[in-house]
């Protein structure tokens, strides 16, 4: 059975690229683009790993991350924050809010695959 990753991203090109590389690596990739309903989608989908954009329509990834960590049902789900906002203050905020890892765009495809694997425990 394929492993499950939830990609919360609103940029179509990034959705397509990450879906392709992760699917090729054996993952079942679910996508979600709405910040307002993203936390509920994580809870409903029980993904092994969440890849979360910082800038989303409706709510920021930082707000979503705060919600995920506050909910016992999603508090332990590994979250890779993937964002174009690569300033140190953004990294610090993401890690303070509970991001498991932080990666900036543009990214190397192999790095994302390796990080998702690592966060899922191998």
Q: Is the pLDDT of residue 85 over 80?
A: no
Q: Is the pLDDT of residue 60 over 80?
A: yes
Residue ranges making up the domain that contains 77: 3-119
Among 21, 22, 20, CA closest to 2: 22
Q: What is the CATH number of the domain that holds 66?
A: 3.40.50.2300
pLDDT at 86: 74
Q: Number of folded domains in the chain? A: 1
Beta-strand pair 79-83/27-32: unpaired
Strand order in the sheet with 49-53: 27-32, 3-8, 49-53, 79-83, 101-104
- The model's confidence at residue 37, banded by pLDDT at 50, 70 and 90, is very high
pLDDT at 41: 96
The pTM for the full model equals 0.95
> Hey, which residues does 62 pair with through a beta bridge?
none
């Amino acid at each position: 059975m394929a492993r499950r990753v939830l990609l919360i991203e609103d940029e179509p090109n990034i959705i397509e690229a990450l879906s392709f590389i992760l699917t090729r690596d054996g993952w079942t990739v679910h996508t979600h683009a709405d910040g307002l309903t993203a936390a509920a989608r994580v809870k409903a989908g029980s993904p092994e790993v969440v890849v979360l954009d910082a800038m989303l329509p409706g709510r920021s990834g930082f707000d979503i991350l705060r919600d995920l960590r506050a909910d016992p049902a999603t508090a332990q789900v590994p979250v890779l924050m993937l964002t174009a906002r690569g300033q140190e203050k953004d990294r610090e905020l993401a890690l303070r809010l509970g991001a498991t890892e932080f990666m900036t765009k543009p990214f190397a495809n192999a790095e994302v695959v390796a990080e998702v694997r690592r966060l899922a425990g191998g």
